[in-house]
């Protein structure tokens, strides 16, 4: 956050999360075999909740608790994306 500044770091955070969902959707649509490929979209509410919390936040130390949630959500996103593709 120091190099970008708080506001630009928040925008970067949103861009990374949105980019992951968008590229996941593009990949799933291009290689569509089964509806299970969209299983990763179940993590979308958790990702949106994280984005909203980050954007509304004014104290950087309050973001520490969000990191663990985001890491677990990212793991769930990756696992559900892989499982959806294999199923």
Q: What's the domain range around 19?
A: 6-86
pLDDT tens-place values along the chain, 87 residues long: 468 888 898 999 999 999 999 999 999 999 999 999 999 999 999 999 999 999 998 888 888 888 999 999 999 999 999 999 998
Report how far apart, in Å, the C-alpha atoms of 78 and of each of 6, 21, 23, 87 are: 27, 11, 13, 14
Does residue 1 fall inside a structural domain?
no
- The domain tally of the chain equals 1
pTM: 0.86
Q: Can you tell me which residue has the tokens 């950087």? A: 60
What pLDDT was estimated at residue 1?
46
Does residue 66 fall inside a structural domain?
yes
What pLDDT was estimated at residue 41?
96
Does residue 64 fall inside a structural domain?
yes
Does residue 48 fall inside a structural domain?
yes
């Amino acid at each position: 956050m120091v190099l970008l500044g708080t506001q630009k770091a928040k925008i970067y955070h949103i861009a990374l999360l949105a980019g992951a969902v968008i590229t996941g959707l593009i990949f799933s649509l291009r290689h569509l075999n089964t509806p299970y490929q969209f299983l990763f979209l179940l993590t979308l509410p958790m990702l949106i909740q994280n984005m909203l919390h980050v954007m509304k936040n004014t104290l950087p130390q309050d973001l520490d608790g969000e990191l663990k949630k985001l890491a677990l959500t990212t793991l769930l996103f990756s696992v559900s994306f892989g499982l959806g593709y294999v199923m």
